[in-house]
Chains A and B, each alone.
Chain A
């Protein structure tokens, strides 16, 4: 079994994902067994096109400060951040707040 979710890279963050803003992700875990940590790891391996760009997304093992994370349109700070257990059908939105004012 796998977990199917949608991942969006917005606010200019799509520069590190071949200018593609929407990604369908198939995360190779059983339902209920993967958290944001596994998803972030999966994203760095499958969505970020150039490994050199990983630091644009990740810092100290988590999403870099300045990138706004929404889980189903809710601030991930209200959803337990890295501990959030991902479910099929979830939409994860990563928006850079640093790009072009």
Chain B
């Protein structure tokens, strides 16, 4: 126990053991999960911002003059991302033109409030804001999709549609770079899920700070790749940033939720495990596949069975598919590794089911015809 005390402006004298480990003059207010270092507010801001700046520069995410769209949901991660990028852009003269890009999934209550937050952020950070909606892009709101396909697969639908919506929103703005607020915890969670599902082929892709597809005009990057959720929440709290924190009304995927809880429990015992899992994900690489020549019949059959149409009209997405870039979806023109993109396959399945909710018009026949046509075009 340290007995020496220092007198500062604070009401009570501070024990030396309670001082910031960087400046040794102010009271520490937080403990970094990454290295257990105790820091005062000012030193935390400095370390937090500098680390993200270093991530950005060492990964060469931006070049001067770039226009960058920030995928903004109104939640803590993207709100902190917008604030930080504005700060760093000014401090280090990145020369970036920053724009907020939001997706309106069409979820009553939930999305209305979060979009209101983004609109306040637009004023606070003085950035242009573009909102693209599922309804405009796909003619379906998430509420309509859930009432048609059920709540169970809502996250799958939403994930596929959001990815495309962000790309299209960026394209509309003439921007070829979207940054998202995915943080180290999200990254570790995804690595963990891919390992638990045996989906090792996705590990490398899920760990990269920037994903760029050949032929795709829009690249994605994650400046918070090495940033802990805890520090993002603390930064937002201390800086009093205006963010929205209500859970989406549709239950998160059960498997992801469980993986997240497991990760949080592990982190409580060993905070570095989040970094360690990302490290593992980055360094586990698959041995090149041996070419099989004798079982071509079997392979062909397996490939054909990859996309299964379920009895209720929904579509099971291929579990394992090779990432092949540069193809264009025949239906919508979006970049796709197959002839028809995932979003179009999902939407075709939904169209089949639409008559259940709107019996009066002719979409039953229309939808069925559309789907069988789509199926004819599907070849892998």
Interchain CA distance A15-B245 in the complex, whole Å: 10
**Of B162-170, B203-211, B261-269, B312-320, the one with at least 4 CB within 8 A of chain A:** B261-269
* B220 interfacial contact with A, CB 8 Å: no
Of B247, B260, B265, which contacts A12 at CB under 8 A? B247
* B181 interfacial contact with A, CB 8 Å: yes
B73 cross-chain contacts in A, Cβ below 8 A: 100-101
Interchain CA distance A11-B31 in the complex, whole Å: 19
Contact B28 A97 (CB under 8 A): no
Nearest CB in chain A: distance from B358 CB, A: 31
Given contacts A10-B245, A65-B268, A66-B264, contact A101 B233 (CB under 8 A): no
* B248 interfacial contact with A, CB 8 Å: yes
Contact B267 A100 (CB under 8 A): no
A68 cross-chain contacts in B, Cβ below 8 A: 230, 233-234, 237
Given contacts A12-B247, A78-B18, contact A98 B260 (CB under 8 A): yes
A-B contact count (CB 8 A): 72
Nearest CB in chain B: distance from A74 CB, A: 5
* B246 interfacial contact with A, CB 8 Å: yes
B183 cross-chain contacts in A, Cβ below 8 A: 101
Nearest CB in chain B: distance from A82 CB, A: 13
Contact B31 A101 (CB under 8 A): no
Interchain CA distance A95-B28 in the complex, whole Å: 19
Interchain CA distance A98-B256 in the complex, whole Å: 12
Contact B265 A101 (CB under 8 A): no
Contact A97 B230 (CB under 8 A): yes
B181 cross-chain contacts in A, Cβ below 8 A: 101
Interchain CA distance A10-B238 in the complex, whole Å: 13
Q: How many residues on the B side are at the interface (Cβ–Cβ under 8 A)?
A: 35
* B104 interfacial contact with A, CB 8 Å: no
Contact A77 B245 (CB under 8 A): no
Which B residues between 22 and 80 are near A, CB-CB below 8 angstroms? 27-31, 38, 73, 75-78
* B272 interfacial contact with A, CB 8 Å: no
* B229 interfacial contact with A, CB 8 Å: yes
Interchain CA distance A62-B260 in the complex, whole Å: 18
B18 cross-chain contacts in A, Cβ below 8 A: 78
Q: What 18 additional pairs, Cβ within 8 angstroms, besides A66-B264, A96-B245?
A: A10-B237, A11-B76, A65-B264, A65-B268, A66-B261, A68-B233, A68-B237, A74-B29, A74-B30, A78-B31, A78-B38, A93-B237, A95-B237, A97-B185, A97-B230, A100-B76, A100-B114, A101-B75
